Amino acid sequence: MPEWPEMDTYRRLLSPLVCGRTIQAVEVNREKTINEPVDVFQSALTGRKILFVERRGKHLLFHLDDGHRLLLHLMLGGWIYYGPESEPEREDSRYQVILELDDGNRLFFGGLRLGYLHRLTAKGAQEHLKDLGPDPFDPRLTEEAFTKRLGKRRGKLKPTLVDQKLVSGIGNCYSDEICFDAKVLPMAQIPDLSEETKQRLYHSMRQVLEEAAANGGYMDHKFSADDTFVGGFDEMCRVYDREGEDCPRCGTPIRLEHVSSRKMFFCPSCQKEQ
């Protein structure tokens, strides 16, 4: 699932390409992906200008010149492709929604079997996102604020880190990478964590997410025909999807277990309970 680094990468890549562009045509190949009848969706978007692209947690918001927003959540397996033509190995019909822009390029939204692209009013978008926790880099989310929020929780660490009400944007991959960087087990009980460990988690969160975004995240879908950036962090993951490989810190084989029906990858040697 695309997380904070992937969605912020999309935001940064899309902004100079689509901001100021007018949507000339809209193709919908799966009505369940949108939130209104196809003809209404197409009519409402045709002729609209994209003003800017915003990210909120794992969501992107395309701000339109009529005050509406296009709210995108890629969920499991979704991706974005940009260019005059679709990817050579995929027919246009494989994309759930396609937006044609006034410069001849198109935005392709694929893999949205669980994801969605909804047209909402500003108020509707705000209501939809009201329960999201703060952004990991929100200036108000200081070390003290983070440790206080975390300290109020009970249960195991990983399910808490991926709870979007705690901090928005962290999912399966980066929760494991953050725990590894902070040298704490993802199944650790939060009430047992020391204040020093909570502080390490805060700094690891910011460091891991920043490094991942700087290297294009871990997604393996190209953004455009000449893209060599997106997915660059995949080979840099220390523990995620590395079962059986040597820990880069101590050499112990990385282990895979499950907590709350989620996979968790960790080093059983150099990650501790507290």
Active-site residue set: 2-3, 58, 262
Residue 57 makes CB contacts below 8 A (sequence gap 6+) with 4, 7, 129, 132, 133, 135, 164, 168, 169
The two tokens of residue 138 are: 């929100």
Beta strand 69-73 with 116-120 is antiparallel
The two tokens of residue 96 are: 């759930």
User: How many residues make up the chain in this entry?
Assistant: 274
Distance from C-alpha of 36 to C-alpha of 122, rounded to nearest angstrom: 16
The two tokens of residue 242 are: 């590395």
Distance from C-alpha of 8 to C-alpha of 217, rounded to nearest angstrom: 9
